[in-house]
Structure 1
Amino acid sequence: MNSHPTVAATAVPQDAEDKPDVVRLTDVRRHFGKTAALDGVSLSVRKGEILGLIGRSGAGKSTLIRCLNGLERPDSGRVLIEGRDIAGVSEKQLQPLRRKIGMIFQHFNLLSAKTVEENVALPLKIEGLPKAARFKRAAELLDLVGLSEKAKAYPSALSGGQKQRVGIARALAARPALLLSDEATSALDPETTHAILALLKDINKKLDLTILLITHEMEVVRNIADRVVVIDGGRIVEEGAVWSVFANPQSVTTRSLLSTIRPQLPDHIAKKLRQSPDGEAILSVDLAGPHASSPLLADLSAELPNAFRLIHGGIDHIQEQPVARFFIGVPDPSRLTPVLQFLKGRSARVEVLGYDARPV
């Protein structure tokens, strides 16, 4: 499906469910006037997990972030960080809890008048750590993100990718339990995005750090997340393991968000389709797991010679799981039922998209 390289993403370990929840939201609601920004959101993020939260602009992502870091108070519901409900505490009680949450931003938010090491050390200065201790920690983190040689530089001398590495180091300064990534790669080019995602995955493994990725880009989720949650209109409309959701998206929103990175029926064919059953039947065929790597089309051709033609499609690998999507045409109406029966017998998800009276 995608010809460019991707960051290796492993499936969620089998013992992941035994790990404690770092984040747990229960029936969180937040209204602005009559508009429901969050409408009964419940989700959890386990220790060491990378969870992708995806949705269009206005879906409720920003409000959810602000509820997580205490900048917004929900109208109702619970927001637990490591078991502590931050929704009901005072501002004074909230301050130490906020230090458990690191934030990286789309536009970096670095202080231009401070050096790289001073930017990284800033949260520790606010916390009251001695200068030697905070600069020692800054040096460790700059080494972690590969920017030790830039410690004395100012942000204006850095590239976008380097600025984001500084932002990541700063977010880790206070040893947070949770790292929030708010559209952190949206302002970066594809190559730099790939490098930043690889860095986040590496940090996740080394530190067993819980990461919540807030994004509108399915490619970001595809590359490094263990699970994905899709939000629309302030509600969660779909969630699950990344490979499973990508292989079989259930909601209209998810299918729309995936349309840019999953094979789609070519427009010149899609525009000619009609629902009256005459002409060539056009089918979508989706498979995941071992079924996706089987010689399905070769077996179909052997079983039913000349019954179909391949139009478009391919095989991808997500979380080490093969995920396949094909579009085929069945010109002869009498062959359609046997083709459907064969494909469904091989655990394929098949949909007749319509009929093309003038196949090309």
Structure 2
Amino acid sequence: MNTSVPTKNMQQKLPSASGQPPVTGDEVVKLSNIKRMFGTTPAVDDISLSVQRGEILGIIGRSGAGKSTLIRCLNGLERPDSGSVIIEGQEITGLTESQLQPVRRRIGMIFQHFNLMSAKTVAQNIALPLKIAGIAKPERQKIVAELLELVGLSERAQHYPAQLSGGQKQRVGIARALAAKPSLLLSDEATSALDPETTQSILALLKDINQKLGLTILLITHEMDVIRKIADRVIVLDHGHIAEEGPVWEVFARPKADTTKSLLKMLTPALPDSIAAQLTQNPQSASEAIVRLRISGESARRPLINDIAAASGLNARLVHGGIDTIQGEPVGTLFLGLPAHDQTALQKAVGFLKTICDETEVAGYVSVPDARNA
């Protein structure tokens, strides 16, 4: 399936729904002290954030964290009780429904369950926002054809949604969201209903669109793997407030909030059960210390085993773990085995690791048949 994205010539051909020249400036979205209450419960609690032009911002949190309410405040479907929502320099919180319409046409939206019209063909679904915007039929047909090529569905133009796979339906949703040439694309759990392979293809398509068309994307998800794959920056929500934010690789490498650490557990290597079951906290009854490291950046590029030997005289072995690459930076969790017979040398090794690693912890001690002497 063709997922290539045309050049910016295509973006230039897409109509501006607002009929206004593009707004200059770096910020597409700016929220200041947004608060939205449901009864006495704050769904969004004093949130301030910005989204830069061309950026992919991931917003993640558990169910009930406030993600859906926040995205509805962004497109004017929810009115915040206090605070400011600015889209491309325009404050929208005080606008009437009719005044909001041109703003919403600058905001594309893709959904978890696609929201396609079952009685309309693929081409008709994509053309719908163009028809509403008053674009003439010949121009609509031209734009629809370009968008179908963009998402790799040219041969499905006359199919109905029931004839499509989940991934194909989401591609139609993406094409429809792009039809009115939005400056911002909101993705609300857009891959949650898809299998892992299809999810990867949709994320690759979104990243390609972002890079070649310069489209700003705000990605709402509860999956850290989605954030890792395509986001530039991540905001972690917890009970309506921002628990943590930063470049994706830094948040993955050095998570601070408990919520972030919990969300990362599924992606972070854990000590195998067969070894964890043997752990003791008594170094006298064991031959090897198991040391857990969280490591990133330049430290992850070092010849770590050699450095440990040079610093402490101990020969380390890799027990478990791995290194991933996020935004071009190595980020990983490693479990090393270090001889425990010489506690002075062991403490020297652990002390050295603490100076270069994001996090260092002696998980415990085990007895191994081939215990070595340094």
Give the TM-score normalised by structure 1: 0.89
CA distance in 1, matches of 2:80, 2:133: 27
Show the counterpart of 1:334.
344
Deviation at 1:309, TM superposition (A): 4.0
1:318 to 326, 330, 336: 326
After TM superposition, the structure 1 = structure 2 runs for residues 187-198 of structure 1, keeping only pairs within 5 Å, are 187-198=193-204
> What is the number of residues matched between the two proteins?
342
Task: Answer whether contact 2:292 2:333 (CA < 8 A) is retained.
Answer: yes
Percent of aligned positions with the same letter in both sequences? 61
Q: Encode CA deviations 1:202-257: one digit per residue, 9 max, x unaligned.
A: 11112100000100111111011111111111011111111111111111111111
Contact 2:311 2:348 (8 Å CA) reproduced? no
Partner AA of 1:316 in structure 2: D
Question: Could you tell me how far apart the structure 1 residues matched to 2:84 and 2:91 are?
Answer: 6
1:251 equivalent to 2:257? Answer yes
Describe the shift of the 1:275–1:98 C-alpha distance in structure 2 as closer, same or farther (beyond 3 A): farther
Select between 70-79 and 258-267 the one with higher mean Cα deviation.
258-267
Contact 2:291/2:364 (<8 A) preserved = no
Q: Which residue of 2 aligns with 1:40?
A: 46
The residue aligned with 1:350 is 359
Alignment root-mean-square deviation, CA: 2.0
Contact map agreement 1:307 1:339 (CA 8 A) in 2: no
The whole-number CA distance in structure 2 between the counterparts of 1:106 and 1:327 is 37
Give, as a single letter, the amino acid of the residue that structure 1 aligns with 2:294.
D
Preserved contact between residue 68 and residue 79 of structure 1 (Cα < 8 Å) = yes
Aligned match of 2:297 in 289, 297, 304?
A: 289
Instruction: Give 1:296's aligned amino acid.
Output: L
Tell me if structure 1 keeps the 8 A contact 2:314–2:346.
no
Q: Which residue of 2 aligns with 1:82?
A: 88
Provide the C-alpha distance between the structure 2 equivalents of 1:40 and 1:272, rounded to a whole number of angstroms: 47
SS in 1 for 2:206: helix
Distance 1:75 1:19, change over 3 A: same
Gaps of 5+ in 1: 1-17
Counterpart amino acid of residue 336 in structure 1: L
Asked if 2 retains the 8 angstrom alpha-carbon contact of 1:301 and 1:307, the reply is yes
Partner of 2:93: helix, strand, or coil? helix
- Show the 5 A alignment for 1:1-360: 20-270=26-276, 281-306=289-314, 308-330=316-338, 331-332=340-341, 333-345=343-355, 347-356=356-365
Q: CA deviation at 1:293?
A: 1.3
Aligned-partner SS, 1:256: helix
- Mapped partners of 1:277, 1:41: distance in 2: 48
The verdict on how the C-alpha distance between 1:173 and 1:281 changes in structure 2, with shifts beyond 3 A counting, is same
- Contact 2:233 2:247 survives alignment (8 Å): yes
Bigger CA drift: 261-270 or 193-202? 261-270
Structure 1 residue 276, shift from structure 2 partner: 7.1
Q: Return the offset for 1:355.
A: 2.8
Q: Cα gap change, 1:158/1:272 in structure 2, threshold over 3 Å: closer, same or farther? A: same
CA distance in 2, matches of 1:277, 1:216: 40
User: Cα distance, 1:296 vs. partner?
Assistant: 0.9
Mapped to 2, the partners of 1:26 and 1:270 lie a distance apart of 46
Unaligned runs of 5+ residues in structure 2 are 1-23, 370-374
Give me the whole-angstrom Cα distance separating, in 2, the residues matched to 1:294 and 1:113.
Answer: 59
**Matches of 1:308 and 1:350, distance apart in 2:** 17
Partner AA of 2:308 in structure 1? L
- Code of the aligned partner of 2:33: D
Residues 181 and 213 in structure 1, CA contact (< 8 A), matched pair in contact too: yes
3-state SS in 2 of match to 1:88: coil
Decide which moves more: 253-262 or 276-285: 276-285
* 2:314–2:349 contact (8 Å) kept in structure 1: no
- The separation in 2 between residues aligned to 1:274 and 1:350, in whole angstroms, is 21
